[in-house]
Each structure stands twice: as structure tokens, then as C-alpha cells.
Amino acid sequence: MTRYHTRYLLGTLFATLFAVNASAEISDNVVRIGVLNDMAGPYADADGKGSAIAAEMAIKDFSGIVKGKRIELISADHQNKPDIAAAIARRWFDTEKVDAIVDLPVTSIALAVQQIGLEKKRTVMITAAATSDITSKFCNPTSSHWIDDTRTLTAGTARAVFERGGKTWYFLAVDHAFGAALQRQVADSVTALGGKVLGASRFPIGTSDFASYLLQAQSSNADVVAIAAVGDDLSTALKQANEFGLMSGKQIIASFIVFITDVHALGLSVAQNLTFPSAFYWDQSDGTREFSRRFNSVTGKMPTKNQALTYIAVRHYLRAIEATGSDDTFIANKAMRTIPVDFFGRQAILRADGRFMYDPVLYQVKKPAESKGPWDYFKAVREIPASEAFLPMNEACTAP
């Protein structure tokens, strides 16, 4: 009997016990879920309305009803401002009787809402912000972290690229805390593996001319040029890297937070050979393809990893309520940590500290000639075992 099968049987047993012993039922006869993210700004393509659609798809899997009670979905734009996000979260919890909030791009916003959820005893499911602090420092029994975190994006990626021949590295890093943290963590991992960092260039946010930085990276002859940036900065750097011939494959061009919408906007001729990790790709399996086709039929796009994880988190939350007969925050969250997660046909778990555990994949963007059609952009290079990808469990933090 496999460990996953054993855990499934135990999960079924515990779920039955929860259902029998739960004193609470469905509060106010409605399960309310709020999608809180950037609806119109720089993260709108990666999250935005697409995340609300993904959550709605999970609700439709239950025909809009759990344990005979209606499921409601609401959404709001936090405008990438922690104070606005906190005000919305408090209003939702205090006056609109929202039971759970999901998505939450931007670290400062996710941490603020996570704390409010603990204070208000409401569920928070983070499917966008990447900091590993969510579970390593600030985990609590009412919140969970679903997307690949900074440990995955750095240590896991460094090892996977190193094992493909990436022994020497050069960094192009955006000159703020995020870029510095990514560079430092990846460099530490490379050094620990026996590799070398040959140099680094820092560039300001909104840089329009990367020529000097790219020439330094190219002339370093490093095996890997790692770009620690996201959004417009990453796109601009990749466009100009392509013009300088860096995307030809002679050097490995690696990045850390890449969305399929980024590659769609850039085109394969620009993004080809870019190497990066991801929790999700639409063409991974029959399960991911079926979900993605449903999503595409509504949006005209393939889902990003954030949108896919929003679907998984909401569906798992509803499964926990279905199993226990209760949307009580502590009962539901303990059940979520007990019942195995159906990760598009693959079994995964939500660890006791709220960390979603799965095996991320290192991908490379296909060359134009390799693509068989629209959205056929990535090829798998190496699976990253969960034991390499995530920090050990925070033993001090478990659900009650």
C-alpha cells in the first residue's frame, strides 16, 4: 500500500469523524468565497478576472451547492495596495460574512490578509504571493499556501539548472528588495552545490535599455544568465536579450517567476529557450488539459499557474466542507490538511503547516519550430521533487 493510499484511507476516516462530531454547520446557510487580487494593474493577466473565473469553475464542480447550502463568489481589486486589501478583507469578514479569501498577489498584501484571517478566524488561501515566510514564519491554522514559493523558485531551480550543466552563473537583478533576495538565495544555492557566481548587474525598475547589462552577461561566458525580475522588466530584458543573441541556447537563460501570459505576449521567437520553474502548465496531463480547455472556452486564454491553483484551492476547501458538514474555519482547515488534494489527477497533500506539497517542474520555452499550435509553449526539462522544492515543515505550526 502506498503512502498516498494510506493517507487517503486515513483522510476518509478523519473526514467521517469530523462530520459526526462537528458542532457547527454552514454559517448563515451560505458559503461565501472572496477572490481578492489585482484586477486592472500589472498582475491582472496572471490573476485578475481569470482567477475569479477559475474559482467559479470550482464552485460549478459542486453545482453551486455544498451540503445543501448555496455557494456565493465575490471579487474585488486590491489595486496592489496593502491598506486597501486590508480594508476589503475586514469588511468582507465583518459585514459581508465571507468565509474564505483566495488568491492575493503581492507579498505585503498576502501577509496582511493572512494576519487578518487569523484575527477574524476566517480561512485565507494564498495562491499568488510567493514568499516562503507565509508558512516558515507566519503559518497559522486558518491559512494555507498553494503556489510555488521563494524556496522553490530559488533552491529548487538552482539545483535543477545546475544538474543540466549550469555550473557558472551571472545575474541580472532588478535593484530592489525582491531582486536582491532572489539573487542572494539562488547564489547561495549555486555556491552550496559547488558552482560559481561570476558576476552580477543591478538595474533600476523600469529600465528601457539593457544593452550594457546584457553585454556584461554575455562576455562573462557564464553557463547561466539568471534574470531576477518580473513583469515589464523581465519582458524588456528578454526582448533585448533576444536581439543580442542570448536566447539562442548557447547560454542558459533562467528566470524565476514566469507566466504563460508573459510568453504569449513576447512570442516564441523572443522567449525561446527561457528556463524557469512552475507549479502548473496546461499541457501537463489529461487533468490539466481538461481544466484548461474549460477555462479557455470562457476566457480565450490558457490559465496561469496562479489561476489554476486558485481553482484547486477553492475546490479542496469545498471538499473539506462537504466532508465535515461545516464551514467552521478550524474544522474546515483541519480537514483540508487531512484529505488528499486532487491536483488534476495527481495526488498531493496540504501539509499540517498549510504548505501545499507537490513536485514542481522545470520548463523551457519551445523554439517556434517545436510548437504545434496556439499556447503550445513549454517543454518539461526536469521534475523537482517536493523534498528539494520546499522547506521542511514548520513543526511549531499545526491546525488544532
Using only the alpha carbons of the chain, give its radius of gyration: 21
Residue 12 above 50 pLDDT? no
**241-260 as b/e: b if 16+ CB within 10 A:** bbeeebbeeebbbbbbbbbb
Grid coordinates in use for 9? 484511507
Residue 200 above 70 pLDDT? yes
Segments in the chain forming alpha helices (H): 3-21, 48-61, 82-94, 107-120, 133-136, 150-151, 157-162, 177-192, 211-219, 231-243, 260-266, 268-271, 286-299, 305-324, 329-336, 386-389
Domains 3-148+284-358 and 151-278+360-388 share a fold: yes
Residue 10 above 90 pLDDT? no
Pairwise CA distance, residues 180 & 183, whole Å: 5
Residue 44 above 60 pLDDT? yes
DSSP, collapsed to helix, strand or coil, labels residue 371 as coil
Least confident piece of the model among 48-57, 117-126, 158-167: 158-167
Domain ranges in the chain are 3-148+284-358, 151-278+360-388
Pairwise CA distance, residues 360 & 330, whole Å: 28
More confident residue, 124 or 176: 124
> pLDDT tens across 226-273, in order?
999 888 899 999 999 999 999 998 999 999 999 999 999 999 999 999
Listed residue (122, 152, 121, 123) closest to 136, CA to CA: 152
Q: Tell me which CATH homologous superfamily contains domain 3-148+284-358.
A: Response regulator (3.40.50.2300)
Residue 2 above 50 pLDDT? no
Q: What pLDDT score does 24 carry?
A: 55
Average pLDDT over residues 143-172: 93
Residue 181 above 90 pLDDT? no
Residue 7 above 90 pLDDT? no
Q: At the topology level of CATH, where does 151-278+360-388 sit?
A: Rossmann fold (3.40.50)
Q: What pLDDT score does 178 carry?
A: 77
Burial class (CB in 10 A: 0-12, 13-18, 19+), 217: buried
